[in-house]
Amino acid sequence: MYKELFYNKISELKDSGNYREFIEINRVSSKYPLAKNENGNEVIVFCSNDYLGMSQNSEVITAMKVALDSFGAGTGGSRNIGGSHKYFKLIEEELCDWHQKESSLIFPTGYSSNDAALQGLLRTFPEMIVFSDAKNHASIINALRSVKNEVKIFNHNDINHLGELLSEYDINIPKLIVFESVYSMDGDVAPIREIVKLAKEYNSLTFLDEVHAIGMYGSEVKGYSDLLRVQADIDVIQSTMAKGIGIIGGYIAGEKWLIDVIRSYSSGFIFTTALPPAIVAGCLKSIKIVRKNDGERNKLHSKTRKLREKLKLNGIEVLEESSTHILPVIKGDSQKCKDAAKMLLEDFGIYVQAINAPTVEKGTERFRINVTPNHTDEQIDLLVESLVYVFDKLDIKRGQEIL
């Protein structure tokens, strides 16, 4: 009985074109964005979140090797049980200095720094009302579904709707506004200044996910809220070390009284194994490099502009809302997206993953394309030429009427 039930669920995904399959992509050290597939053939990656290529940085790799040789591979448990190795202290001090916050806390992943931090905070204060953007990440959605707090969803980036919802509650009722700066699937930016203003007006805390902005925007590349000069007004800055920083891990930063509550009450932090010294040492070295070096992020934005223009010249529409380094090309058909991705990989050695439901809404299936500082002009040209060929071959419209 159970086998049939489970097979039926998988069949539903396959029939709708939404069944996910792993594709072997072996990145070549020091040669990113080059990789090799399972047959050893060369592949160019155009959809990685390793935006600055920091996972391949020689100084980062050396720092990780030194820590690995000095401390071994693992941590032996949570920070409370196994002990808190020295790199945690160093990186949390670095994060506080970077974001100009009193305190910070490291988690194993960016997903868990959202999920665990929000659950810990909200379970500790069940009377707190949450106001969450409709397009927030799955980690935020999972956290909010796991607590008993009242949750109000405001329309994506709709400051008027948020204001209407906030006005329904007494100013002395605890509130939390949860939103992102750069949204990962659309590449658009939140009205951060306006949200901060509303938070002050209605006496609400703010929790800002900056995972797709860290390393790319602001002074010392510390996020979009810094670019808009309001990071000091955000109560909790949350981010990952798997994108602009290039490795793995997540963190939150804010005032000590707030971060200490999350550290002390969040089961997702208390009961999870801590990141190994080699990982944290690599993250620390990467942060030190990116915050003091504008070169890579400037190359990223320059090459993004170049790719955006070449796509436009060839009639390939990028989602109008996108104003960042993330270039969504919406096709609105899950099977055609998968077929196009397969042809790009097999015929042209280009890896661009199809993004299908439920990651995005049905009917908005897409390629989520991004270039890095390490892509060459020739590789960018090849991508565009290949997209044109594949779209025409599969009878996929380069423009998209649904936009």
| Burial class of residue 173 in the structure, from the number of CB atoms within 10 Å of its CB (0-12 exposed, 13-18 middle, 19+ buried) | middle
Residue 351: in which H helix or E strand, if any? Answer: strand 350-351
Query: Measured between alpha carbons, how far is residue 227 from residues 205, 219, 321, 402 in Å?
Result: 20, 7, 19, 32
373 preceded by cis ω (within 30°)? Answer: no
Q: Which of 243, 285, 336, 338 is catalytic?
A: 243
Nearest to 387 by CA among 307, 305, 303: 307
Say if residue 124 is exposed, middle or buried (CB neighbours under 10 Å; 0-12, 13-18, 19+).
middle
The CA–CA distances, whole Å, from 90 to 45, 96, 105, 110, 339 equal 33, 10, 11, 19, 47
Contacts of 193 (CB under 8 A, 6+ apart): 228, 230
Encoded amino acid at 114, one letter: N
Q: Compute the distance between CA of residue 110 and CA of residue 211 in angstroms, rounded to an integer.
A: 8
Q: Is the peptide bond before 358 cis (omega within 30 degrees of 0)?
A: yes
Backbone angles phi, psi at 106, to 5 degrees: -95, 140
The answer to whether residue 243 is catalytic is yes
| Residues with catalytic roles | 243
